[in-house]
Amino acid sequence: MTKALDVARDLLRCPSVTPADAGALGVLEKLLKNAGFETHRLTFTEPGADDTDNLYARIGTGTPHITFAGHTDVVPPGDNAAWSHDAFAGDVDGGVLYGRGAVDMKGAIACSVAAVLDYLQANGGKPKGSISFLITGDEEGPAVNGTVKLLDWAAKRGEKFDHCVLGEPSNVNALGDCIKVGRRGSLSGTLIVEGKQGHAAYPDRAHNPLPDIAALVSALNADPLDQGTDHFPPSNLEFLSIDTGNPAWNVIPAQARARFNIRHNDYRTQDSLRALIEGRVEKLSGNHTTARVEWEPSNADAFLTQPGPFTDLVVAAIEEVTRRRPKLDTGGGTSDARFITHYCPVLEFGLVGQTMHQIDERTPVADIEALTKIYRGVLDRYFK
């Protein structure tokens, strides 16, 4: 029997900092191929971005078709000397697994693989439908050569998914407390206010853009973007910096720039948000301030997986193991679920996210064992 902990430790020992694979996909490919999966290793490219390795594996040809998605790339460990255990050693100490990616999200991938292999072993080596894995290597990076292209490749060859479980660290404090059923969208831009450069001793000969941009920032923050929806909180605009690029002490700057990010719900689209912000800037600027907004590209739209039989099935599997009924939540940042949602309903459920991206990222071995049981419970119910 394949143990999730052993798979997790093998994955953690691969220093797969985005976009490096460092052997992580090979660990999974070997296990899945030996179990009868048809596997495909795919490298996608994009001008201005690093080439990225990806893995698609499937067993079965019928329906229903459930896919487990995830990423083997991780963020840098930071100062490895600050870790109590080497970031890429996969050490277990006191019943806790340490390593970069233990939570986000090699641990959950290991659990899904172990659960699937256990299910197949107990059911004659084949599912009553199809099981697949969508594993990418650039989720922690620009996310342009990973899941979005892997899904497109799969669709072009006729692959159809009925449901997806994405093993992101969805739980807040304890395993079983939260399922992500959607995510807010993310949109970034820069507010630019033009002035007239001049000597600080002669302000009448210049126009300082800083008071103007300060007033605009304050006014834009004053009015809410919306009131929220049934499953999402109100959209929020957060200014991140105000800058003139001015190193001098006696020069009024010619321009001021304020960077901002908007996390928005499913009431707003990116186009409607751009129109809303640009309209408010124009109205607030009046005739005396020259202001505009420059937008950054974004592929992070808001989405929601409507509750239904699949959600109920996953909730039942979680309750059976943890005795907790998870909250259906849409908070947090973005994930590759924003791409998967265009192909099938997707739920995010993995380990507890308390230590993700931190020094000494870690997870209790007991949680790895419990998550494997939950995934196995999902499979039993899915193909029942």
In the residue annotation, 139 being an active-site residue is answered as: yes
Own/partner long-range contacts of 314-318 (Cβ < 8 Å, ≥24 apart): 314/165, 314/179, 314/347, 314/349, 314/378, 315/179, 316/377, 316/381, 317/374, 317/375, 317/377, 317/378, 317/380, 317/381, 318/176, 318/179, 318/349, 318/374, 318/377
The distance of Cα 249 from the centroid of its chain, to the nearest Å, equals 43
Which letter does DSSP use for residue 199 in this model? E
Take residue 96 and report the two structure tokens written for it.
Answer: 């806790």
146, two tokens: 């990973």
CA distance 153 to 114: 26
Element (DSSP H or E) covering residue 367: helix 365-382
Given the residues 21, 29, 73, 118, the one annotated as active site: 73
Q: Which of 276, 277, 327, 336 is nearest to 303 (CA)?
A: 336
In the residue annotation, 73 being an active-site residue is answered as yes
Task: State the catalytic residue, choosing from 118, 138, 139, 266.
Answer: 139
How many CB atoms sit inside 10 A of residue 94's CB?
8
Q: In angstroms, what CA-CA distances link 251 with 115, 196, 204, 239?
A: 65, 10, 13, 25
Which residue from 325, 333, 171 is spatially nearest to 263, judged by alpha carbons?
Answer: 333
Residue type, 378: V
Parallel, antiparallel or unpaired: strands 163-166 and 65-71: parallel
* Catalytic residue set: 73, 139
